[in-house]
Amino acid sequence: MIADGGAPVLAVSGLAKALPGGRRLFDGLDLNVRAGELVAVIGESGAGKSTLLNILAGLDEADQGAVAIAGTPLGPLDEAARTRLRRERIGFVFQAFHILPYLTLGQNVALPLALTNPDARHAAAAARAMLAAVGLEGRAEDYARDLSGGELQRVAIARALVHRPALILADEPTGNLDPETAGRVLALFAGAVHDGEAAAVMVTHSPATAAIADRVLTLTARGLVDKNGG
Ligand SMILES: Nc1ncnc2c1ncn2[C@@H]1O[C@H](COP(=O)(O)OP(=O)(O)OP(=O)(O)O)[C@@H](O)[C@H]1O
């Protein structure tokens, strides 16, 4: 379901980014994503998809343009305020944000809550509920090191969603999964976005993964374009 009306959760306008050597990745990039909407970003290798996600998260700087998350512009925020916004408002399913092998599943999933809320009992209960929602009921005490790839990916999704972020950023959320597991993980991910009324941007190379999105946009040097070139 795509919510219509209301301010977008993610509002991006006029974004431009060039590499240190001068190669322009994109220019004039606009993107609005509303609550409950899942947008897939595809494009050639090296087009700048991961760079774009990093800019949306405030982890990298654009050369021009503006990004606002839940009405808060990133531009004027200092590093501490950006970190706080990230922890409170964004859920990440990134390869770089790996699940920690020597923590239990419950501890891994509770991490985003532990960073913002000192109520450990609430965090543990919320983590158990979120693990159950991704099909890992009763597994909170298991260690992450013993999990399969598909199970780990589900833990990563539970961790990205546990603090009910306004915005979810995902980089290849089904990377390295077999098609059947990938399908299950994706359905779960899309359901969580739609039910939780989060806005989500997901970068992928996989047409099957992109197919579950509400919109599929291709990253080009002139920004994000849809299938019809608009
Ligand atoms: N810190 C950096 N300094 C210089 N070049 C960089 C830096 N980070 C990324 N690049 C370059 O920017 C370009 C875009 O990289 P990015 O990872 O964003 O692309 P991508 O579209 O996500 O690619 P892929 O689909 O292969 O993951 C690449 O040519 C990469 O080599």
Domain layout of the chain by residue ranges: 10-225
**Do 40 and 213 contact (CB within 8 A), yes or no?**
yes
**What pLDDT does residue 228 have?**
57
C-beta of 21 in contact with ligand 1 (< 6 A): no
* Calpha distance 226→221 (Å, rounded): 13
C-beta of 49 in contact with ligand 1 (< 6 A): yes
Task: Pick the residue whose CA is nearest to atom 18 on ligand 1.
Answer: 48
The DSSP 8-state label assigned to residue 26 in this structure reads E
Where residue 35 falls among pLDDT bands split at 50, 70, 90? Answer: very high
- Ligand 1 centroid vs 223 CA: distance in angstroms? 15
- Ligand 1 centroid vs 47 CA: distance in angstroms? 7
In ligand 1, the atom with minimum distance to the C-alpha of 52 is: 18
C-beta of 218 in contact with ligand 1 (< 6 A): no
Q: What is the per-residue pLDDT across 87-122, written as a single tens digit (0 to 9) for each?
A: 999 999 886 567 898 999 999 999 989 887 778 888
* Calpha distance 206→117 (Å, rounded): 36
C-beta of 19 in contact with ligand 1 (< 6 A): yes
* Calpha distance 184→21 (Å, rounded): 41
**What pLDDT does residue 135 have?**
84
Q: What is the mean pLDDT of residues 33-39?
A: 95
- Ligand 1 centroid vs 214 CA: distance in angstroms? 26
The DSSP 8-state label assigned to residue 144 in this structure reads G
Q: What is the per-residue pLDDT across 122-138, written as a single tens digit (0 to 9) for each?
A: 899 999 998 998 889 99
Where residue 63 falls among pLDDT bands split at 50, 70, 90? Answer: very high
ipTM score: 0.92
Burial of 213 (0-12, 13-18, 19+ CB in 10 A): buried
Which residue in this structure is represented by tokens 């374009």?
225
10-225: what CATH class? alpha beta
C-beta of 117 in contact with ligand 1 (< 6 A): no
C-beta of 45 in contact with ligand 1 (< 6 A): yes
pTM for this model (two decimals)? 0.89
| Average predicted confidence (pLDDT) for the chain | 89
User: Rounded to the nearest 5°, which phi and psi values hold at 109?
Assistant: -70, -30
- Ligand 1 centroid vs 163 CA: distance in angstroms? 29
Query: Which of 197 and 47 is assigned the larger pLDDT?
Result: 47
